[in-house]
Amino acid sequence: MDRAQKEKLVDELGQIFESSGVVVVSHYEGMTVAEMQDLRARMREAGGSVRVAKNKLAKIALEGKAVASISEFLTGMTVLGYSEDPVAAAKVFDAYAKDNQKLVILGGAMGDTALDTAGVAAVAKMPSREELIASIAGCIGAPASNIAGAIGAPASNIASILSTIEEKAA
């Protein structure tokens, strides 16, 4: 890799560290190509990406960034998982690490906050953006459905009373 390619890679990594909602750093020593492809596929489905980069270049990209403290995790065979959704990469890596003991989560960053292993696990348990939107939509729609039910209830009560009286008369 020549100097221009390295500079381009450092710029790309810098943009990843700045724009991603979450970045997870893990060791992947001993993983097969098929296992790594499976991890990449899971990340694509969740809307994230996986990147293997030289630790030295990643540390250079971290200089001056708010999450420069995660550079301590960049030792050995590391892989970066990142996504714009603040929890997607953490969820995928956490679930994959439970299935595959070769992937060891070291830590990461969420926005300006550095995370340790427990922090990544805590972020993975948080609801995703889509789950939060569905929850909010449900809360907004619930009063309307309650009102509609209350308006329709007297008519249905009268109908059931009339059908009961009709059955007794027959």
Domain map of the chain by residue range? 3-126, 127-169
Sheet holding 104-110, edge to edge: 48-51, 78-83, 22-27, 104-110, 113-115
Task: Report pLDDT digits (tens) over 58-103.
Answer: 999 988 887 888 889 999 999 999 988 888 899 999 999 999 999 9
Tell if the pTM clears 0.85, that is, is over it.
Answer: no
With a cut of 50, list the residues of the chain below it in pLDDT. Answer: none
| Domain spanning 3-126: CATH superfamily | Ribosomal protein L10, N-terminal RNA-binding domain (3.30.70.1730)
